[in-house]
Structures are given as structure tokens and as C-alpha cells.
Amino acid sequence: MSQIRDVLLKHGVAVLADEPDDEFVPIESTEYWKEMERNRIGNLLAGSRLKAGLTQAQLAEKLGIRQNMVSDYERGRRTYSDAMSARLCKVLQVKEEYLRYGSEQAAAADAPPRAAER
């Protein structure tokens, strides 16, 4: 039980137990969490599209592609090229790092150090 408490303290998130005697389950071990992580890029794209106030059909029209391609990108069934990434960012008015990492801070942390920082 102390190991579970350590996880809770570290992450601050857990799935509530169904029964009082059940142990807490870290959300990171749930299928829901695993599915969300598998399709992180698609979720970021969908969120950016919704924030821009666009439907999949409207985004597809602006990009000159079919609506089902946008759906495939968002569901993780298809990956987009660097060129498409640039087009998506221009239409959605987001930085490319956001669509890859979720935030500019995360992108900066993952980026290799610049020559001046070495």
C-alpha cells in the first residue's frame, strides 16, 4: 500500500477504487491512459482544431484534403508528413512544436542544446 501512496504523491492522480477494500490504481496503468498516450499527436491536433472553432470538414477544406484524412490523423490511423504538419500549423495558427509535444516548454526541454549552450 505504501508503494501506491508513493505513486499518488509523485503523480497526484489515481483511479478511485470501486469498493472500499480495493486498492487505488495509478491512472498511468489504465488502458485509457495507454490509449491516450498512443494517440497523443492526434489528440493535440483535435484539440487545436476545436480551439480554432473548426469542424473536421472545415479544416479539410482549408487544407485541400478529404475530411476522412483529418479524422484519420486525429485517430492515429494515419501520420502526416512534415509538409502537412506545416500546413496544419498555418491553418490552426499553432507552432509546430505544440502539435508534436503539447507545449512549447516540452519542446524546448526535448530539443538538443544550441551551440551557445554547450
Domain boundaries, the chain: 2-36, 40-106
Give the pLDDT confidence score for residue 23 in this predicted structure. 73
Predicted local confidence at residue 31, as pLDDT? 83
pTM: 0.60
Which CATH architecture describes the domain 40-106?
Answer: Orthogonal Bundle (1.10)
pLDDT of residue 37: 77
CB atoms within 10 A of CB 13: 12
Residue with cell 504538419: 85
Collapsed DSSP state (helix, strand, coil) of residue 26: strand
* CA dist list (Å): 96 to 38, 87, 90, 107, 114: 19, 10, 9, 9, 18
Positions of the chain with pLDDT lower than 50, given as ranges: 105-118
